[in-house]
Amino acid sequence: MTRRVWVVGVGAVTPLGATWVDSVAALAAGEIAIGPVTRFDVTGFPSTVAATIEPVGAGDRRLLLARTAAAEAWTQAAIDVPAARIGIFVGAEAGRPDFATVVAVSRAGGNVAALAPLAARIGRGATSPGAVASMLAAMTGAHGPVETSSLACASSAAAIAEAGRCIRSGECDVALAGGVGADVDQLMLASFGLLGALSARGVSCPFDVQRDGFVLGEGAAFVVLAREPRGAIAELAGIGRTMDAYRLTAPEPEGAGAARAMQSALADAGLDAVDYVQTHGTSTPLNDAAEAHALHRVFGRALDRARVASVKGAIGHAIAGAGALGFLCAVEAVARGTLLPTAGLAHPDPLCALPHVVGTAAYASAASALVNSFAFGGANVSLAVRSM
């Protein structure tokens, strides 16, 4: 018999709150965290806005944000199982030193004396994706399986999926899973801008007719999953993962891979429909249209009875942390009946006709929810969540 997977703790740090509790209150009220970037000089950049978290302290921002979010979830869960039965699953990408350090290193060349003062700054920032998981294992004392998923925007959703599978298979009894995105820096702001992926208007408005790109955000979100339902607030009921194998920077236009991921998650959960969908909804013309098409393809008329939203309108796109943040929104829907809205959506695109939650949160009983994460490169992850 397949083991069920229970959500027993949640935590997050976002541009709208230092905890998930604070973040939910702000998101429900329709607050928007996007504003001018002040951390570094953005003169001449293709985009000059982001949703940032200030301050977080010195060092690798991924580690700092992840530790805060994971600690909230871990404390809530109050786990008491052997260390060898606890796993750590993280969605993260490589850390980077600040731009000034990169410039200083390049100018130093092979001069050991000039490089020595920079060593600490390099070590704090230029860490591998796996450093986050190692830090969290040390924080929790976990000695079980560990894995880092680095799949761009689908990273943390993939980490939660793998954690669920390991609990189902019996490889571990408890898993701390989620991810972190800390990409508001010169390199990412310039790179995504040159790709044409960022909003020239500086507005994140998923599914809006005026959408013209996403806005970078940052944040971390973690859940504690367990095989025992003690203290559970929701169930991770279904997992779906697919690949577009189409283009590196564009989704398959008809959303075929996205649809298959959703269908797999629903089938895994034994569901035909859901009450709430927390979409990937990046505010880019191609992604939103493909996802809307996929949603209609999967749910048909049953979609009319659901509510749909994207948290990225309020807190931007946290890349590797985005899927876990979306997962927490889905848990909020089924656990407390809080259907968080899409901020910035003022003129819905007829090509993305969906039953949107706009303005402020809607409050209604939700027995089930789906969260989507669709990444650069075509990786798709859908997770189904069910109420207790």
Q: Where are the domains of the chain?
A: 5-94+129-386
Confidence band of 289 (pLDDT split at 50, 70, 90): very high
Q: Smallest Cα–Cα separation from 156: which of 28, 23, 11?
A: 11
- Give the integer Cα–Cα distance in Å for 371 and 367: 14
Question: Is the pLDDT reported for residue 7 higher than 80?
Answer: yes
SS3 for 374? strand
DSSP 382: E
Share of the chain above pLDDT 90, in %: 86
Instruction: Give me 206's structure tokens.
Output: 């998923």
Confidence band of 124 (pLDDT split at 50, 70, 90): low
Tell me: the pLDDT tens digits for 161-214? 999 999 999 999 999 999 999 999 999 999 999 999 999 999 999 999 999 999
Neighbours of 150 (CB within 10 A): 18
Q: How far is CA 364 from CA 288, 337, 338, 386, in A?
A: 25, 5, 7, 14
Q: How many CA atoms lie within 13 A of 219 on its CB side?
A: 34
Residues 356-368 as b or e (16 or more Cβ within 10 Å = b)? bbbeebbeeebeb
Q: What is the pLDDT of residue 121?
A: 64
- Give the integer Cα–Cα distance in Å for 217 and 318: 5
Amino acid at 131: A
pTM above the 0.85 mark?
Answer: yes
Neighbours of 41 (CB within 10 A): 11
Q: How many CA atoms lie within 13 A of 76 on its CB side?
A: 24
Instruction: Give me 171's structure tokens.
Output: 């490889």
Instruction: Give me 115's structure tokens.
Output: 């490089």
Question: Catalytic pick from 280, 329, 352, 356?
Answer: 280
For the residues of 264-328, what is the DSSP string, one character each? HHHHHHT-S--SEEE----S-HHHHHHHHHHHHHHHGGGGGGSEEE-THHHH-B-GGGHHHHHHH
Region label for 313, one of left (φ > 0), alpha (ψ between -120 and 50) or beta (otherwise): alpha
Active site (annotated) includes residue 329: no
Q: What is the pLDDT of residue 95?
A: 83
Helices (H), the chain: 20-28, 61-77, 99-108, 112-115, 119-125, 131-140, 155-169, 186-195, 256-269, 285-299, 312-315, 322-336
Helix (H) / strand (E) element for 149: namely strand 146-149
Tell me which of 56 and 288 has the higher pLDDT.
Answer: 288
Q: Smallest Cα–Cα separation from 48: which of 186, 152, 209, 197?
A: 186
Share of the chain above pLDDT 70, in %: 97
Q: Smallest Cα–Cα separation from 260: which of 271, 244, 246, 245?
A: 244
Tell me: the pLDDT tens digits for 365-387? 999 999 999 999 999 999 999 99
Given a contact cutoff of 8 angstroms between Cβ atoms, the answer to whether 221 and 92 are in contact is no
Domain 5-94+129-386 has what CATH class?
alpha beta
Helix (H) / strand (E) element for 36: namely strand 35-36
Strand 234-243 versus strand 174-182 pairing type: unpaired
Q: φ, ψ for residue 33 (rounded to 5)?
A: -100, 0
Instruction: Give me 180's structure tokens.
Output: 């972190």
Given a contact cutoff of 8 angstroms between Cβ atoms, the answer to whether 338 and 361 are in contact is yes
The predicted model gives 26-40 an average pLDDT of 97
Instruction: Give me 99's structure tokens.
Output: 């731009």
Q: How far is CA 54 from CA 57, 114, 387, in A?
A: 9, 30, 34
Maximum Cα–Cα distance for the chain, whole Å? 68
Question: Catalytic pick from 205, 317, 329, 356?
Answer: 317
Confidence band of 56 (pLDDT split at 50, 70, 90): confident
Active site (annotated) includes residue 317: yes
Tell me: the pLDDT tens digits for 57-112? 777 899 999 999 999 999 999 999 999 999 999 999 988 777 777 777 777 777 77
Amino acid at 381: V
Within its chain, how far is the Cα of 21 from the centroid? 17
